[in-house]
Chain A
Amino acid sequence: MNLQAEAGRKGGPSDAPVSKSDLDSIVVRFAGDSGDGVQLLGSQFSQETALAGNSLATFPDFPAEIRAPTGTTYGVSAFQINFGSRLIKTAGDQPDVLVALNPAALMVNYKGLRKGGLVILDSGAFKEKDIKRAGFTIDPRLDGTLKEFRVLEIDISAQALEVAKPFGVSQKEALRTKNLWTLGLVSWMYDREMKSTMEYVARKFGAEDPIGKANAAALNAGHAYGETHELSGDIAPVSMPSVKVAPGTYRLVSGAESLAWGLAAGAQLANLEMVLASYPITPSSPILHILAKLKQFGITTFQAEDEIAACCAAIGASYGGKLGVTASSGPGIALKTEAIGLAISTELPLVIVDTQRGGPSTGLPTKTEQSDLFIAVFGRNGDAPIPVIASHSPGDCFDVAIEAVRLATKYMTPVMILSDGYIANAAEPWLIPSMKDYTPFPVTFRTATEGFHPFLRDPHTLARVWAKPGTPGLMHRIGGIEKDYNSGNISYEPANHQKMTDTRTAKIANIANDIPEQDVALGEAKGKLAVVGWGSTFGPINRAVSNMREKGLDVSHIHIRHVWPLPRNLGALLKSYDKVLVAEMNNGQMLTLLKSQYLVDAKSLLKVSGQPLKIEEVSSAIRSLLGSN
């Protein structure tokens, strides 16, 4: 198992098998019904794994339906974790281990498992009707479907029912402990401490709750099962040494958490209170939930009646002198566009978070995609530029959010943050930052009345003054109608509109001088091939480039954070490579942007399946472009 796990992970048949002693990471995928508690199982296992000092990346992959009909393939919820003693950059191309809690989970996931991988099945869930419902004509355990894998069948359902019996919980509740039973078994397999899960159970249910006791017992029972049953040698416990990382205090963080905290941090650094106005939408809602609990930070949250109202309320708050923030996903961003134009025209700070999901329209609400680049950069009526910043990992959202607040307040402009469903839901170990390491950028409100008009500009940044209501002597009117450059009053003058349009454009373009130059994430600043990515594709691109460089290929990785304006050296940098490959999860949006800006003849690796890019997909594209097989 270990040997082939390594082969599978290293990406494809062309990689030579490596010895068992090389085991330094493993990919486990948990799958079950959407009511089976698979996400909880996965996130608790991630927590245990993080506390064990391993590097890890996770990929929660769940349906849009809250409780799809039991046993259906479209109701399958999965959670994948890649963990190891080396730096983990992706949730893994191919699972080494699949835990399938019902036949539908097996149906959906077995084809992705690497050859020789281990399948752990809950045989109690393999009744004839369940098997049929999952779309198997014959029991897959009997007809050779699983012949390429090793299969471990345990009647987890019966085990869970038996364990829960003494606590007098209902049959339904007893059966629901099977996720924790499974967690116990897997914790044993990988030598994980279960303390954090035990604490979680106690916190969630209270010490005396029979359901809590049943769950705790199931966790222990799963662990004991592994210990006492002579399970085949293949799944003898594996110890994964901890990864060598920078010293400090770590935690697991999801993209939604670090983004929410980054907004709070940004507001503090700007010396502003924050108003987050949002409308619930998958996968953005956790930002609202997290910030709603942070009232003591001077954060007001407002669940608006719709996406438009959310954006407008955030603008109203900014007009009032606080930091207005609105968070949504594609369909919501589409609705906000007119209001974003108002914030551009009135030159008010505003942070807009777009946690991208599959589109167009409702698209794939719980699946990931990077197809909102165009709407972020261009999606408004009129000439209406705004800065756009993309986060590349869960932990990175923290710094991206701070940067967004800095630019929004310094330049009096809306700023769009692009995250995505993968980043928002995935978790990774995170070196917790200290606020003292960040330089504050406090906002100055205009108070002087002499020579005041609302569109007075800073000669360097071109930002207009921010004068908030309540300030004596600075009463003024602003709005979406074009304003006179010299007074801020309504103006329909042709030359003035030209000047204002040019000024708004120059203001945003000038931000290129206030952001870092584009660096090379891995490799050289020139050469045969640069793979260019942005956002959540960082992991697979970086690992693929690293693997190909180990094989001697001349390839580098460039990852763009500042999507608009683009870094000032990017054009020259791209031209220093013979070939450029843009890898992204859309139909060519960054590709088009780079081509239009730099006339670069870039090639593309595009994927819109709702699933993250795989290392092997990138590696294969690199090999093909460099003519190496």
Chain B
Amino acid sequence: MTRVLVPSGALGLGYDREALDRGIAARPDIIAIDGGSTDSGPHYLGTGTSKYSRASTRIEWAGLMEARARAGCPLVIGTAGTCGADSAVDWLVDITREIAAERGEAVKVAVLKSGQIAGDVAAAWQAGRVTPLEVAPEVDATTFAGCTNIVALAGAEQVQAALATGADIVIAGRTTDTAIISALPLQNGDHAGGAWHGAKIGECGALCATNPQSGVILIEFDADGFTVHPMADGARATPHTVSAHMLYENSDPFILYEPGGHLDVTGAGYTALDDTRVRVEGSVWHPSDRYTVKLEGARQAGFQVVSLVTVRDAHYVANIDRWVADIAAKCRAKAEARLGTDDFGIELRVIGRDATLGALEHAAGTAHEVGVLAIVTAPDAALAGEIAKMLNPYLLHYPLTAEEEVPTFAFPFSPPEMSRGMVYEFCLNHVMTLDHPMDAFRLDVVEVG
């Protein structure tokens, strides 16, 4: 039997303190929390930074370090600092040092890094050991060096190696969401299908139960399966809430690929033990012949400057398609002539009509006002800024006909141009074959406090 306490779906989202205390009273064998995902976009991996506030992260992490000391069990975080790049891991290690010093607590920290050297991944690709998943971007020999960060997703084996150091705290770079939860049950010989399935159910904390905001959930793993037990007062897990979580952010609700194999939950049975707990058995783990880890990479995709103008004049709202098309064409021609390049993008999205869905929109809009989000993308910041400034007179005064008095449109800000800085894009959806699980990862142990 292995008890894994999951305080919330991610560090930075908050957790219910009373529920956490209840979880500690249940004597967990490990506390496991996720630190991120790709879900907030490529900026974080591109820059190697965290999405969440440092102050929030520090307060929540201090609470977990204190709970860990009380529980006397390891605390593990995966995908530290949102993206799990080495710089984001260092960021959380620094926060850990500050907290340990403040608490006067000596803590042994295992630091597992997932960052990849571009040349190593390129060599693996040349050797046929980097292969695309379904719907992967095209890759060539230059792709890897073009990434600002590449990470490999660690699985249970690498987390187990970190735990084997005897560390009080494991701070891991990019891991699969599930690996930090499944690692200890698998090491203890609990049911493998149950370990991965329970890990998937628990990876978002109490999202698999009622009262999902409470965060805290306890998963008990054993030789036959697992039991889900939400810790917040009034929170309940039901067969429906638990099984429905397999749908969440999964393209396939029955199969989950992980380093070293895949989970199949087609035959899983979900049973209510009482009003709050659910028992799950019947999921199957299929080990694979090759040991592969997924790669994520982000690269620079130009500088962006955006402007927002709102249009309230009914005549212009009714003819907004023509208005934005004219402006984009005229501004493009002017910028090409004056700046001597056509290597840039100008896109005007009409908020109130189809800004969200684009070509997929099927509603015919009759909004009384629309917003126009003007997006300029160019290879460097100066060029993006120049083009955005050339765009401004059009957004401010462009008339639909030459005869009419010059119109003026509404800007919420001055200056109207807002620099988004460098933008990034994900450019890998591949797996890399390893001879040994630790080949692409690095493990260090540091004493803090």
A and B are interacting partners: no
| Chain B residues with a Cβ under 8 A of chain A | none
| Chain A residues with a Cβ under 8 A of chain B | none
